[in-house]
């Protein structure tokens, strides 16, 4: 006698459709997010019209339950379909199971419940789509393209049955772990040249997601004790995209470049236009302001939005820049201003524009002060205020119908306002605040150009674009530069040496992280140290707590050869009886290694070198350990090494160690 198992309702799990190469890829929510969605769904009445919104994925996305869509909060992304899933199907050549629609899942579940209750199987069920499903038994269920009564199964791919599974526990799927609700620290990550950020040509959002996942995993493995005690939560990483604005329709630069681009080798020229030209744009008086304004405004926008979604956040904020993005942040941080009380200049409640003609708190007041109030309606029609007026060119004012005379007066006023707000402020900063970055070896003067933005020149080099640098709405705790050309750009600008007493006005920590084979990265410490001092970079420990094996072997062979050379010297001295000078004061072990990868990080910590105040007297240059396969040919992996940081667990751990500096890092059981 067969024992009939009682029917148990299927466990529901929520999925979202993530498009990959224009193909559907259904991904599960974490168990915590799925349960939140299920609870909210059960509370929603069928007759209610108001939308129900549930925050998911660390509050980076919002799911609108009635609409069944998942929307990104911080960046632009196409909304993704969301499903409450319980039944799944998979073809013989499919890589993963696909969930049925909610209606078909309910239909299949009702049929399954009847089959279990009555213990009647081998049921032929025709779906509303015209396809046929056979429930052979609780473990074997198949689907055919058309009704089974119309044909005997044939061996062609068209008629191959699909496998059905009931419940998420019966399909091979990796459910992501949920993220802690508490955010300890916020990090903004700025990309470099081009729209793609890594070797897989992924954008900034995908790469930051990768870095965030690595960080979350490292917190669980290296800060487990603190996490288990709920002492620490997590670090949130948000992407800052400036390339899209620069190459958007607002600037029109892509169309201008396309008109002058030669038709030959089109793919190579398109790649060059999308990537390499960003370097020239940043050194352009016209587009540098656009890039810097975009980065600062996007950071401030994201920061404000984050605080709205995390009203109890009390942590600090840090910045990460990759490649050109690090140079943008470096220039931005160099030009931050502080008041006597240390608060950001733009956050003062009484902040207003000071001019040589008076102080104006509104556009109307400013125009009246110069007899230009008759043009207020024209400017207000274009939604102009003091800030937007200072960003306008004379052509912009001409396009909206401002006559020549008033237009010239407005441009003259704007020039004075910018000078009082930016130029005079920077000059005062150089005289009374922290020592200027280039005060030791650079002489500054301004040269007029055809643009509204001038260049700031040194006595050698091409100079730095002098623009109106916007202010951030917070003081960063730390700035991490990855694969950064900052050192090279400072040198080309004519800055030979950085004043050791210099520090960013609002940021006290600075880390320059690079791969030893990265062709774009340059060091910073030699610009702070005496020229006769050769200090190798700090070797970043492997996240598993030791040097990579091939580096240990290389270091061991170096020591063996050193000892062998010393022994041979002693033998030769005893035979010849001729005193030989020591090969080096204190022996070979005291020699400074020239290979960065051979330097022990603990050795440098013990030396306790003071390399200036950019990182509060601590080390600045940190070098990653190359992998064994990379060590075979450094030229072959040069490009990849410049794009490796987004997936680098060693880099993520260094960031976490700065953020959680007071918490112990454990490498046990790794």
DSSP letter for each residue of 115-129 = HHHHT--SEEEE-TT
* Separation between Cα atoms, residue 376 and residue 134, nearest integer Å: 75
**Contact of 223 with 268, CB cutoff 8 Å:** no
Structure tokens of 71?
């929307």
Structure tokens of 153?
């199964």
Q: Which of 542, 539, 550 is nearest to 600 (CA)?
A: 539
Q: What is the 3-state secondary structure (H, E, C) of 542-606?
A: CCCCCCCHHHHHHHHHHHHHHHHHHHHHHHHHHHHCCCCCCCCCCCHHHCCCCCHHHCCHHHHHH
Q: Which of 621, 601, 600 is nearest to 555 (CA)?
A: 600
- If one counts every other C-beta atom within 10 angstroms of the C-beta of residue 428, the result is 11
Q: Tell me the C-alpha to C-alpha distance, in Å, between residue 219 and each of 190, 270, 321.
A: 23, 41, 22
* Separation between Cα atoms, residue 469 and residue 346, nearest integer Å: 12
Ranges of H-type helices in 374-469: 376-381, 386-390, 394-399, 404-418, 424-432
Looking at the DSSP assignment, which residues form a beta bridge with residue 20?
23
CB-based contacts of 647: which residues, under 8 Å, 6+ apart? 198, 210, 211, 214
Instruction: Return the beta strands (E) in 140-290 as ranges.
Output: 140-144, 162-166, 183-190, 234-240
Helix (H) or strand (E) holding 510: strand 510-514
**Could you give the angle at the alpha carbon of 130 between the alpha carbons of 129 and 133, nearest 5°?**
95
Reported as half-sphere exposure (CB side, CA atoms, 13 A), residue 407 has a value of 13
Instruction: Return the beta strands (E) in 103-260 as ranges.
Output: 123-126, 132-137, 140-144, 162-166, 183-190, 234-240
Q: Tell me the C-alpha to C-alpha distance, in Å, between residue 68 and each of 37, 109, 173.
A: 11, 21, 22
The single residue of 323, 422, 466, 484 carrying the catalytic annotation is 323
**Contact of 598 with 551, CB cutoff 8 Å:** yes
For the question of residue 323 being annotated catalytic, the response is yes
Hey, is 446 helix, strand or coil?
A: strand
Write b or e for each residue in 393-424: b if 16 or more Cβ atoms lie within 10 A of its Cβ, otherwise e: eeeebeeeebeeebbebbbebbebbbebbbbe
* Separation between Cα atoms, residue 630 and residue 645, nearest integer Å: 15
Residues catalogued as catalytic: 323
């Amino acid at each position: 006698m067969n024992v009939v198992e009682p029917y148990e309702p299927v466990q529901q799990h929520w999925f979202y459709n993530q498009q990959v190469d224009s193909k559907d890829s259904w991904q599960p929510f974490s168990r915590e997010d799925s349960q939140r969605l299920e609870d909210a769904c059960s509370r929603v009445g069928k007759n209610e019209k108001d939308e129900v919104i549930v925050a998911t994925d660390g509050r980076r996305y919002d799911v609108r339950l009635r609409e069944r869509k998942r929307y990104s909060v911080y960046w632009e992304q196409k909304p993704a379909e969301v499903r409450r899933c319980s039944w799944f199907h998979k073809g013989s050549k499919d890589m993963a199971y696909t969930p049925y629609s909610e209606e078909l899942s309910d239909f299949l579940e009702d049929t399954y419940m009847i089959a279990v209750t009555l213990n009647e199987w081998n049921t032929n069920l025709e779906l509303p789509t015209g396809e046929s499903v056979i429930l052979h038994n609780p473990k074997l269920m198949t689907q055919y393209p058309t009704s089974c009564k119309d044909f005997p199964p044939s061996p062609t791919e068209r008629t191959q049955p699909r496998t059905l599974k009931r419940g998420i526990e019966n399909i091979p799927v990796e459910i992501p772990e949920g993220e802690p609700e508490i955010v300890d620290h916020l990090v903004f990550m700025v990309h470099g040249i081009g729209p793609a950020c890594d070797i897989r040509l992924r954008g900034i959002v995908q790469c930051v997601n990768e870095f965030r996942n690595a960080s979350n995993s490292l917190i669980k493995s290296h800060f487990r004790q603190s996490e288990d005690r709920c002492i620490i939560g997590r670090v949130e990483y948000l992407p800052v995209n400036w390339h899209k604005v620069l190459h958007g329709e607002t600037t029109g630069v892509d169309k201008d470049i396309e008109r002058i681009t030669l038709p030959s080798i089109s793919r190579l020229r398109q790649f060059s236009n999308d990537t390499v030209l960003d370097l020239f744009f940043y050194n352009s008086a016209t587009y540098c302001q656009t890039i810097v304004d975009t980065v600062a405004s996007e950071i401030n926008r994201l920061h404000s939005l984050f605080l709205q979604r995390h009203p109890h956040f009390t942590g600090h904020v840090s910045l990460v820049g990759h490649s050109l993005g690090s140079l943008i942040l470096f220039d931005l941080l160099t030009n931050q201003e502080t008041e006597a009380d240390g608060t950001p200049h733009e956050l003062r409640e009484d902040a207003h524009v000071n001019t040589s003609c008076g102080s104006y708190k509104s556009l109307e007041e400013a125009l009246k002060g110069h007899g230009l109030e008759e043009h207020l309606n024209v400017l207000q029609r274009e939604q102009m205020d003091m800030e937007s007026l200072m960003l306008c060119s004379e052509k912009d004012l001409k396009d909206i119908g401002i006559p020549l005379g008033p237009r010239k007066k407005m441009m003259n006023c704007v020039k004075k306002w910018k000078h009082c707000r930016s130029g005079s402020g920077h000059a005062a900063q150089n005289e009374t605040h922290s020592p200027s970055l280039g005060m030791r070896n650079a002489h500054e003067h301004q040269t007029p150009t055809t643009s509204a933005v001038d260049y700031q020149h040194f006595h050698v080099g091409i100079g730095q674009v002098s623009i109106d640098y916007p202010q951030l709405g917070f003081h960063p705790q730390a700035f991490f530069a990855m694969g950064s050309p900052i050192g090279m750009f400072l040198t080309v600008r004519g800055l030979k040496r950085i004043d050791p007493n210099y520090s960013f006005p609002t940021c006290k920590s600075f880390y320059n992280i690079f791969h030893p084979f990265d062709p774009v990265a340059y060091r910073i410490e030699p610009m702070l140290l005496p020229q006769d001092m050769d200090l190798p970079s700090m070797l970043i420990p492997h996240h598993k707590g030791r040097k990579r094996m091939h580096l240990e072997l290389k270091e061991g062979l170096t020591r063996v050869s050193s000892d062998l050379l010393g022994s041979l010297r002693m033998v030769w001295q005893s035979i010849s009886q001729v005193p030989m000078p020591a090969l080096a004061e204190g022996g070979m072990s005291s020699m400074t290694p020239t290979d960065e990868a051979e330097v022990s990080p603990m050795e440098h910590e013990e030396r306790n070198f003071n390399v200036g105040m950019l990182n509060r007297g601590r080390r600045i240059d940190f070098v990653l350990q190359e992998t064994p396969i990379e060590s075979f040919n450094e030229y072959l992996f040069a490009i990849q090494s410049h794009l490796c940081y987004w997936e680098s667990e060693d880099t993520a751990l260094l960031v976490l160690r700065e953020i959680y500096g007071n918490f112990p890092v454990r490498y046990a059981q790794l």
